[in-house]
Amino acid sequence: MGKISILDLQSKKQKGEKITMLTAYDYPFARLLDEAGVDAILVGDSLGMVMLGYESTLPVSMEEMLHHVKAVKKGVKRAFLIGDLPFMSYQASKEEAIKNAGLLMKAGCDAVKLEGGKEVFDTVKFIVDMGIPVLGHIGLTPQSISKLGGYRVQGRDKDSALRILESAMALEQAGAFGIVLECIPYLLAKLITEKISIITIGIGAGPFCDGQVLVLHDLLGIFEDKKPKFVKVYANLSPIIKEAISSFIDEIKTKKFPDFSHAYELPEEVWEEILKKVK
């Protein structure tokens, strides 16, 4: 299969085929995801917490996003590549938004993602009108975590559910090609998915979205912190990695590694010549 496009993703929705998306932040994992056949790769601003040790996504800069996008791009041949616009890279003005969106595209992205609903309508429309595809993101929006009062499910009461639905329709009208629905009740996600013609990608939004995304390091069990309810760990690698490192440490201390099978030999005649010189 060749390079995946927005038309391919849209076609999957129309055919009822599920879309697969995962995050990647570096070349080795990007290559593995691409070769495994994932439809889309997101270089999320979650890299702030996953790769850089920040407590939230808020400190992530454009420079950090571009650094990771360029690395991921080198490992991607067929997957659709999306880059996050980090906090305050698009909120100040439409001009700032298009400049930063353009930088992500120049770094190798096929599209950009930004958070917000009706309040970012003009920004999304402006970016799309300038020729850059936009993936929206509503529900739990980590860049607004202070306003939302923490990492909690959104849209559980009538007013907030209606706001999320209206935001989804507004993003479609603004020209977004799809929307990430994060941490909302599954019936609300089902309604949105049926109501709009563009794709929906769920994360903690139940089984009825057009596709699903997870943070790769959560999927692989690399972190041992408490996981949200929506995370499924497919491979618990953290203890395996620590065991491998402990084995390495132990073999160095007990002089088991390296042995001669991991060492290079010097031709005997060369060794004899060297010995002659040093005697």
pLDDT digits (tens, 9 = 90+) for 34-47: 999 999 999 999 99
What domains are defined for the chain? 6-235 (3.20.20.60), 240-278 (no CATH)
pLDDT in tens, 133-157: 999 999 999 998 777 667 789 999 9
pLDDT digits (tens, 9 = 90+) for 86-106: 999 999 999 999 999 999 999
Instruction: Check the annotation: does 115 bind a ligand.
Output: yes
45 labeled part of a ligand binding site = yes
Q: For residue 42, what pLDDT is reported?
A: 98
Res. 22: pLDDT tops 90: yes
What contacts 96, CB < 8 A, 6 or more positions away?
A: 89, 90
Please say if 182 is a catalytic residue.
yes
Among 225, 166, 212, which Cα is nearest to 191's? Answer: 166
pLDDT digits (tens, 9 = 90+) for 199-235: 999 999 999 999 999 999 999 999 877 788 999 999 9
Query: pLDDT digits over 181-190, tens only?
Result: 999 999 999 9
Return mean pLDDT, the chain: 96
61 is in an annotated binding site: no
Contact 98, 128 (CB under 8 A): no
Q: Is the CB of residue 136 less than 8 Å from the CB of residue 178?
A: yes
- DSSP structural state of residue 116: B
63, 95, 172, 182: the active-site residue:
182
39 in Cβ contact with 4 (< 8 Å):
yes
Burial of 6 (C-beta count, 10 Å sphere; 0-12/13-18/19+)? middle
Secondary structure of residue 78 in the 3-state scheme? coil
Helix then strand then coil, in percent of the chain rounded to 5, is: 45, 15, 40
